[in-house]
Amino acid sequence: MRYPDNNENPDSICDADKAYIRFFHALPNDPPVAVDVYINKKLIVKNFKYEDFTPYLTAHAGTYIIEVYPTGNNLDQLLNIRIALNAHEIATAAIIGTVSQIGLEVFSDYPQEIDESLSFMRFINLSPDKEEVNIYIDDTPVVYELGFTEITEYLSLFPGKHTMKVELSESKKAIVSHPNLMLKGGNFYSTYVVGFMNSTPLVEVLIPLEGVSYLKF
């Protein structure tokens, strides 16, 4: 597995065997816990902080062992898990849960035709409180009862400015309001719900651009 800016040109990986993966630190804690991420015993990400994403890494399709440790401490292992990447997969590997119950969840895309006249948004609930949420776009409900680690299909939206609201499904209490969501035509986005519902760090949404918007094979 390689960083995109490694001395080896990522294009040297055979297109038929090529995949991409990035990591997302979605493990809330007070105080925050920075981690080091190893792939097949090699340190890949150091001092990885809550809510951060790595760049996409270029990889061969295959199986990898992912290990996570507190930064600077390679004795108290937090996670050891095996994942598989398929050819042409574009993956986000999210470190989730709590420090005492840590996990890794992989969310994947594959290359597809892109309609430049539309924007695309999917929704993922990574709040470890495990409460279901409803999501509204422009005051219209688009997702009901989204549970922990659940992911929706992409929703087609017109480019431009939108509003978003996230509420608890059971109580209907609004927990996140996003009044100025700007979407660009031809781009794919994910709304990640992260944090705790009733303690710090409080719940919020992160909306990164997904690699399927621009990565090539």
Tell me if domain 1-110 and domain 112-217 are identical in fold: yes
Q: What is the three-state SS of the chain?
A: CECCCCCCCHHHCCHHHEEEEEEEECCCCCCCCCEEEEECCEEEEEEECCCCECCCEEEECEEEEEEEEECCCCCCCCEEEEEEECCCCEEEEEEEEECCEEEEEEEEECCCCCCCCCEEEEEEECCCCCCCEEEEECCEEEEEEECCCCECCCEEECCEEEEEEEEECCCCCEEEEEEEEEECCCCEEEEEEECECCCCCECEEECCECHHHCCCC
How does pLDDT run along the chain (217 residues), one tens digit per residue?
Answer: 333 333 344 445 568 899 999 999 999 999 999 999 999 999 999 999 999 999 999 999 999 999 999 999 999 999 999 999 999 999 999 999 999 999 999 999 999 999 999 999 999 999 999 999 999 999 999 999 999 999 999 999 999 999 999 999 999 999 999 999 999 999 999 999 999 998 999 999 999 999 999 999 9
* CATH of range 1-110; options 2.60.40, 1.10.10, 2.40.50, 1.10.3430: 2.60.40
Domain spans of the chain, in order of start: 1-110, 112-217
Q: Class assignment of domain 112-217?
A: mainly beta
pTM (2 d.p.)? 0.92
